[in-house]
Every structure is written in structure tokens, then in C-alpha cells.
Amino acid sequence: MQEINAGIFKAYDIRGIYPSEINEDLIYKIGQAYVKVVQPNGKIAVGHDVRLSSEKLSESLIKSLTDAGIDVVDVGLISTEMLYYAVGNFGYQGGLQVTASHNPAEYNGLKMVREEAKPISSDTGIYEMRDLIIAGKEKVDSDTKGSVEKKDIMVDFAQFVLKYVDISAIKPLKLVYNPNFGLEGEVLKKVIEAGNLPLEIVGLNNTPDGNFPKGRPDPFRPENRPEFVELVKSSNADLGVAWDADADRVFFCTKSGNFLEPYYLNALLIKLQLEKKPGSTIVYDPRFTWAIIDSAKENGGNAVVSRVGHSFIKEKMREVDGIFCGESSGHTYFKDFWYADSGIIPLLLVLELVSKKGDLDALLKPYFDKYFMPGEINTEVNDAQAKIKEIKEKYADGKQDELDGISIEYPDWRFNVRSSNTEPLLRLCLEAKSKELMEEKKDEVLGIIRG
């Protein structure tokens, strides 16, 4: 029996502290378990992020796969979206990205996919791998050793994503970009070069550095926003863009210094997607919903709900043939990107949109004026399930749904409370038909959560 912290095997990826919870020995075992569960019949792509431990973990993972007889394509230092591209575009039979996304520097982990970048979640393999390792049954016996091919996919990826927009429509713009010490700044430069885009770029935290010297590489955290917002304003930029460290989440700031909740931008992107593909289905999650559902209906589309999390959303999109999903956490998914999330494609779409139709503040004003929300509010609690039970009883007269946590809806306000899949937190997402009601109900529900 192998002693491991089973808690690092999450709902849709693996994350733990290096080297106490995840290390070269364990990732070797995970690689073997991956082969046993997925049973790939062709090449597997392996990449890694900028974290200091990622390259060593990647080397151990590659050895594990080749020892199991699997041919590996080592795509090296990449963003997570580039792994999805590699697997989907080159027809590989699976892929693994060594990354802990937006977690602090001491963490590392894995995001895993099957062929066509199909996600692997707790329901479709992660827990099975965990159980094999705990039981000491993960080892794969192979008479042959797999090969390793190194492949630089940056230029191919840059050329591919440019197909999502009319690059001739993009006007000269000044862009502040903040990759939070991850790789996406380098990806952006390569995309600009490949498309000869007329952009003036101003970098912030744009030198890749796995130490993450300013702390947790997550631009969505309120304490990480002011520096970015101030640079957008002080440099007189047309807009700003920020990514988390592995660049599968993207956030925007308007030229006036308005750090956008993805909820609002997603409603606008839905409109654009449905203009191109009328009558299609979009997918959304239960955190913030009204603007998303309304945008889909008003633009001739359908809206289908999914559990929170990239693996679950990708599975739901495939199930219902959804063309788009924008999570309020900053993940943005596209059917024609193998139903996967990208950090660079939304930027290109926004650049095209601003070039054609003007400032984001003006374009988003109709949503700001109709849908009121305070953003996601996180609270550490001792017993999350007890709090959710208390909330269900308090609001028993509301329309309730337990797809993911508890969602409760009234005619003029609604909210969702759920436990994080990646952190020890209870998350509150609330919206209302007026700012006053939103503030009142936010304080009311938080009083229960924190009481």
C-alpha cells in the first residue's frame, strides 16, 4: 500500500504541495496509472508550466510513460491551452500538463486529457488512478520502451489561434498585458508576430518566473488587481488583459480602469458567437446565470447548465453540442477548440470587437445596468456542509437546485453557495435586479455563512 494524501486528487485535476504531497516518485506512479486507466494506443503529449519543480516532474512523468511502452511527444514549456491544442491538432491519444494553475509557487500537479483533448475528471479516471496507486496496483508491465520526441509547437499554435478572428479588422491598439509571471506573455508576442498585429504592448509581471515573486499568480484575486488596473489607466491603454500562471483563465480591464467580472463579458461573447452560429447551444454554470441565459435567448440560442469545473463543462458541451461556455472564474471554452478553454482566443475576439465597435465600457453598459452582482465571495468555514444545510432551511421558500452546491432563486434575486473543488473555501455568488437589493441580500447570506 502506498501512503499518499488522497486529497490531492481533485474533482478535475491533481494538485498538491511539492515535494511533500506530490513529487517525482508519485508522479511516476500517476503516469503508470494514467496508462492503465486510459489505455492509449498512440502518442501522448507531455508539457509543463514555469514552476520551479515542473521540469523535474515532467521528466519523471515522461520516464513513467515510456517505461510503460508509450511513445511521448515532449512539448516542453507551454501554456495549458497549448496542451489541448497539441492533443487535438496533431491527433495524439492523450496529454498531461504538469501545472498547479493559479495555486502558489509551492504547489504542483497535473491536468490530464484523453484523445481529442477530452477531459479526465473524478468521474472519468482521476479517482480510479488514485485508487490504483493507493492499492499499489498502478504498475504497467511492458516488454518495449516508448520513444521520446521533442516538439516546439509555439509557432503552430500562434498561427492556429489567429484563425478565430479577422486579423485585418484589428486596428492599432495599446494593450497592457499581465501574465502573472507565467508563459502567456511569450505566447502573446508570438501571436502578434505571426499575425503582424498592429498592437503596442505594455508588460506587467511579464518575465516568466516560477518563484511567482508577487505571490499567488491569480489575477482574479482582488489584491492582485490594483497594480494591473493602475497601469492600464496610467499608460492610456485601450484595454488590459491578465492571465493566471498557466493561462487557461483570462480577465480584462477597460481603458477606464474597470476590471471586468467575466460574467458580463461572457454575455457579450455569447451574443457574438450566436451571431455567427444562430440557433446554437451555449453552456453555463450555476454561479451567475441571468445575463448568460438572457443573452442566449435574446440572440436565438439555447442555454444548458453544467456543474462547475473545466472537466464537467467540457463533458456537458460535448453532450449537448454546445458551441461556447464562459465561466465566471475566467475559463472560456470553444467547440472548435476541442471544447477546451483558451486564454489567448478570448483576447483576439475582444481585440477584434473593440476595433470594430469601440470601447468595452460602452458595449457592456447594458449588462451593467441590468444585472447586479458583487463578484464571487470566498469564506473559510469549519463545516461547509452544515452551512449549506442551514442556508437551504433558511430559504426553503425559494426555488432550489442542488446540481452544484445549492442554488436558490427568487423573482428578483438569486444565489449559489458551493464548496470549492480546489481550495478549502465556501463560495458565494449572488445577483439581483437592483444594486440595493444585491447589497442587502449579499450581507444577509454572508451573515449566515460567517455567523
User: What Å distances lie between residue 214 and 181, 206, 218, 369, CA to CA?
Assistant: 9, 12, 10, 35
CA torsion through residues 9, 10, 13, 17, sign: negative
Please return the burial class of 121, using the count of CB atoms within 10 Å of its CB with bins 0-12, 13-18 and 19+.
buried
> Cβ neighbours of residue 409 under 8 Å, at least 6 residues apart?
398, 399, 400, 401
CB 72 within 8 A of CB 146: yes
Q: Which three cell numbers mark 108? A: 504542483
Q: How far apart are CA 177 and CA 172, in angstroms?
A: 15
Cis peptide before 213 (omega within 30 of 0): no
> Cβ neighbours of residue 159 under 8 Å, at least 6 residues apart?
194
Q: Which of 53, 60, 64, 101 is catalytic?
A: 101
Q: Which residue has the cell 483576447?
A: 347
- DSSP per-residue string spanning 311-377: HHHHHHHHHHTEEEEE-TTS-EEEGGGTTEE-SSHHHHHHHHHHHHH--HHHHHHHHHTT-B----E
For residue 334, what are the β-bridge partners?
A: 324, 340
CA torsion through residues 215, 216, 221, 224, sign: positive
Strands 173-178 and 107-114, sheet pairing: unpaired
Q: Which three cell numbers mark 111? A: 491536468
- Widest distance between CA atoms in the chain: 68
- The answer to whether residue 101 is catalytic is yes
- Give the count of alpha carbons within 13 A of 131, CB side only: 8
> Which positions are annotated as active-site residues?
101
